[in-house]
């Protein structure tokens, strides 16, 4: 059976030593009194919930899956899920970072980020039920009317009700402009909505009293394409004027998807049959509101793979220390045993270190982004809000795509550490791999994220935001450029920072002549950019650790941090060279291939 220990020490390192988040919070009035002991105490309790309540349900939930009663359209979650959710709500975790004006606790988003990393390590399928609610909550808070906010946000923030995003239809995935779901305005100002959606995570379940669906649909007079999409609140149960639940609405689960992973989460086919809905925002402007939820979901999906990377690493490490097989190439290490533990073998260490480097690098980036999100929304200085929003916009596709690609690499490698046992369900590793695979697909495939990064976020503003991140790299290079101890970390990011600027200019020119050039290079480009971002954070983490060691610390945590940084720059970062070659190879070898597909 697998195990899980919340990585509280590393979270504390990133928050308090690397990013000094409490110093940033001093400038944000509602968080000015937040201190490190408070954050640490909350996360210690959160870790106990994740490891002691959610984690024991992971394998059983995967084995049992969800059950649909076709006669009533009711979905029952696996055994224990409902009780765990009730405890989650009773303990106050649902509203941890929600607005106190709507019943939330108002803690910084960084605390919620760490809570959900631990929950994703413990049980991604279960975590998706409350996790999706945060995106729906954010969209309604940003674009809902006062009445909509009062009606829904208190119950969603408390966890009494959950939320979903209903976008996808069978004939169109990411291309939402092709959707067919229709909304008809009624004399009382409400809408009647009919259509079919698929792949709706947590679309029906028995954990909460109501489910608040945010549904994309077309008005009868809507223009064609994405410019004719509107957003609607469509609750499972209609809500009376006094806030009580009314009649069952015409939105229901008509089928459950049989999936490769996340079996414990209900991935639903949703039918809307003359369902009552209310418009969110302006007609035909639905994507403006939905992108609030989609961007939150993209950060959340990256966090899912971060959680899986961490738990897979922990279990592979424990197994590698215990499993004996063959002798070390450099001589016997365990003389009292018939063979050595497999952790002595170089390639086993490479797989373990890969997972560790991707987990710790991903954690630094994810926590940094949660601080950016906090500043974007709540910092009193307008310029800080704007800069933070621009940086977050740049990093969001990297969080979604780079972390999920890395999660697939890491969980697959950790499964490999187990050899044949990794293929057996009881060890838990094959479930981590299956669960990780979906994260590369949904909330916009990683190719879509790559096109968004290169085409919109970078070339769309002539690299202005990328240059802002480049200034962070340049400042670190200037600060540590003459420090010999930091050379192995600083020189690679200085080199890549220069090369990615030239690559961007080259791709921009080629793309202006032929847009397929951007499509051909985008996936490689995102991974190069991801390594630049990770390299920056790994260099900073090595900087902090080396300073602690120089100051006399004997804590092995710092030595491990430096050693992991050395591995990352020596074994993982160099893939950027081949990626840039591939990005420059052009679109011809992809598009001039009619004979291949004839």
Q: Which residues are catalytic?
A: 443
Nearest to 434 by CA among 263, 224, 196: 263
Nearest to 387 by CA among 399, 375, 374: 375
DSSP conformational letter for 17: I
Residue 502, token pair as written in the block: 């030239």
Do 263 and 66 touch, CB atoms closer than 8 A? yes
Do 116 and 303 touch, CB atoms closer than 8 A? yes
Q: Is 163 left (phi over 0), alpha (psi -120 to 50) or beta?
A: beta
Do 266 and 204 touch, CB atoms closer than 8 A? yes
Nearest to 195 by CA among 163, 175, 171, 222: 171
Cα three-residue angle 288-294-296, rounded to 5 degrees: 115
Do 315 and 2 touch, CB atoms closer than 8 A? yes
Q: Go through 104-129 and write b for each residue having 16 or more CB atoms within 10 A of its CB, e for each that does not.
A: bbbbbbbbbbbbbbbbbbbbbbbbbb
CA distance 174 to 522: 17
Cα three-residue angle 540-543-547, rounded to 5 degrees: 150
3-state secondary structure of 225: helix
Residue 296, token pair as written in the block: 């939150």
3-state secondary structure of 443: coil
3-state secondary structure of 252: strand
């Amino acid at each position: 059976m697998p195990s899980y220990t919340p990585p509280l020490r590393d979270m504390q390192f990133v928050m308090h030593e690397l990013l000094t988040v409490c110093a940033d919070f001093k400038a944000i009035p509602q968080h000015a009194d937040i201190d490190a002991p408070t954050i640490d105490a909350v996360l210690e309790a959160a870790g106990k919930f994740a490891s002691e309540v959610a984690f024991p349900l992971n394998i059983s939930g995967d084995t049992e899956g969800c059950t649909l009663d076709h006669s009533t359209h009711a979905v029952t979650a696996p055994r224990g899920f409902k009780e765990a959710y009730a405890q989650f709500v009773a303990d106050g975790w649902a509203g941890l970072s929600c607005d106190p004006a709507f019943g939330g606790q108002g803690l910084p988003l960084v605390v919620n980020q760490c809570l959900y990393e631990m929950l994703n390590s413990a049980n991604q399928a279960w975590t998706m039920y409350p996790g999706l609610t945060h995106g729906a909550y954010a969209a309604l808070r940003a674009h809902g009317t006062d009445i909509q906010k009062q009606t829904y946000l208190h119950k969603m923030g408390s966890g009494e009700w959950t939320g979903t995003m209903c976008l996808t239809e069978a004939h169109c995935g990411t291309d939402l402009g092709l959707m067919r779901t229709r909304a008809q305005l009624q004399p009382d100002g409400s809408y009647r909505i009919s259509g079919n959606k698929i792949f709706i995570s947590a679309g029906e379940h028995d954990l909460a009293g109501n489910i608040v669906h945010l549904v994309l649909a077309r008005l009868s007079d809507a223009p064609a394409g994405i410019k004719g999409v509107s957003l609607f609140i469509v609750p499972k149960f209609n809500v009376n004027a006094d806030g009580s639940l009314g009649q069952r609405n015409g939105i229901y689960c008509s089928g459950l998807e049989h999936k490769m992973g996340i079996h414990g989460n209900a991935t639903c086919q949703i039918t809307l049959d003359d369902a009552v809905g209310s418009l969110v925002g302006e007609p035909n402007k639905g994507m403006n509101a939905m992108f609030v939820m989609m961007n939150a979901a993209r950060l959340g999906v990256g966090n899912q793979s971060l959680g899986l990377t961490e738990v897979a690493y922990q279990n592979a490490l424990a197994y590698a220390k215990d499993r004996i097989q063959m002798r070390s190439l450099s001589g016997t290490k365990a003389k009292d045993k018939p063979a050595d533990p497999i952790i002595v073998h170089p390639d086993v260490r490479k797989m373990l270190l890969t997972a560790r480097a991707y987990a710790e690098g991903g954690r630094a980036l994810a926590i940094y982004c949660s601080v950016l999100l906090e500043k974007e929304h709540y910092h009193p200085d307008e310029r800080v809000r704007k800069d933070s929003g621009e940086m977050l916009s740049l990093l969001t596709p990297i969080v979604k795509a780079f972390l999920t690609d890395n999660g697939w690499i890491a969980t697959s490698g950790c499964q490999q550490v187990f050899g044949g046992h990794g293929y057996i369900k009881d060890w838990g590793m094959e479930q981590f791999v299956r669960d990780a695979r979906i994260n590369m697909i949904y909330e916009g495939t990683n190719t879509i994220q790559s096109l968004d990064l290169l085409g919109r976020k970078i070339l769309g503003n002539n690299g202005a935001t990328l240059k802002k991140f480049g200034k962070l790299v340049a400042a670190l290079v200037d600060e540590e450029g003459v420090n010999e101890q930091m050379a192995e970390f600083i020189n690679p990011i200085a080199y890549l920072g220069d090369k990615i600027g030239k690559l961007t200019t080259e791709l921009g020119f080629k793309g202006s002549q032929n847009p397929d050039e951007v499509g051909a290079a985008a996936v490689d480009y995102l991974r190069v950019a991801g390594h630049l971002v990770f390299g920056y954070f790994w260099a900073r983490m090595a900087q902090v650790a080396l300073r602690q060691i120089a100051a006399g610390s004997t804590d092995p945590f710092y030595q491990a941090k430096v050693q992991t940084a050395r591995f990352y720059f020596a074994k993982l970062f160099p893939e950027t060279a081949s990626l840039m070659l591939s990005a420059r190879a052009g679109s011809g070898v992809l598009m001039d291939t009619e004979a291949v597909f004839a």
